[in-house]
């Protein structure tokens, strides 16, 4: 197992730690959760860099890295829903976009085409991570609402962009 894949596994293991700290309501729970989330987010950037720079790209990494990211973000968003800090429909928008783009990529792969991550998807991921970090802090309701709006808008924009740029993948003609 290479370094990049070990970092991905570490990120997966940090997800239950992140939630455990929040559910157990340990002293300064949000700050501990923030630290865990931030480190987990940094491992995402680091494992990608290491995989590309040191030629450690594997099928395991291609599968597990995006799955780990989606699980980490979904865990945080579901926590916000549970505590009333975010409406559930926001999480639904995020999940539907993820399933849609993943499905589009599967259809494209079946046709021998790879749909790489686009700029808007990277902006969506980065802005969502930053918003989650902010929402773990004791912020005002209007900053929280701005974060929710940013998550929804970047998610919708990137999802629409993926489909618009790759609509031909869904055509019946091979």
What angle is formed at CA 25 by the lines to CA 142 and CA 85, rounded to 5 degrees? 20
Judge whether residue 174 has pLDDT over 80.
no
Tally of CB atoms within 10 A around 67 = 14
114's tokens? 């790879």
45's tokens? 């950037």
Q: State how far the Cα of 81 lies from the Cα of 101, in Å rounded to an integer.
A: 23
Cα–Cα distances in angstroms (integers) from residue 33 to residues 13, 63, 84, in the given order:
13, 26, 17
**Is the overall model pTM greater than 0.75, yes or no?**
yes
Q: State how far the Cα of 77 lies from the Cα of 24, in Å rounded to an integer.
A: 18
pLDDT confidence band for 32 (50 / 70 / 90): very high
Kindly report, residue by residue over 102-150, the tens digit of the pLDDT: 999 999 988 888 888 889 998 999 999 999 999 999 989 999 999 999 9
DSSP string, 11-72: HHHHHHHHHHHHHHT-TTHHHHHHHHHHHHHHHHHHHHHHHHHTT---HHHHHHHHHHHHHH
Q: Report the chain's mean pLDDT, rounded to a whole number.
A: 93
């Amino acid at each position: 197992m290479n370094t990049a894949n070990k970092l991905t596994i570490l990120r997966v293991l940090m997800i239950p730690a992140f939630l455990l700290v929040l559910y157990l309501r340990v002293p300064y729970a949000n700050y501990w959760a923030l630290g865990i989330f931030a480190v987990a987010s940094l491992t995402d950037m680091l494992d990608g860099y290491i995989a590309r720079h040191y030629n450690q790209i594997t099928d395991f990494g291609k599968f597990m890295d995006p799955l780990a990211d989606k699980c980490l973000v979904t865990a945080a968003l579901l926590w916000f829903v549970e505590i009333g800090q975010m409406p559930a429909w926001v999480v639904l928008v995020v999940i539907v976009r993820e399933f849609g783009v993943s499905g589009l990529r599967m259809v494209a792969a079946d046709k021998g085409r790879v749909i790489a991550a686009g700029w808007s998807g990277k902006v969506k991921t980065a802005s969502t991570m930053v918003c989650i970090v902010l929402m773990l802090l004791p912020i005002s309701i209007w900053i929280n609402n701005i974060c929710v709006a940013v998550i929804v808008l970047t998610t919708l924009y990137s999802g629409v962009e993926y489909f618009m740029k790759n609509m031909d993948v869904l055509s019946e003609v091979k």
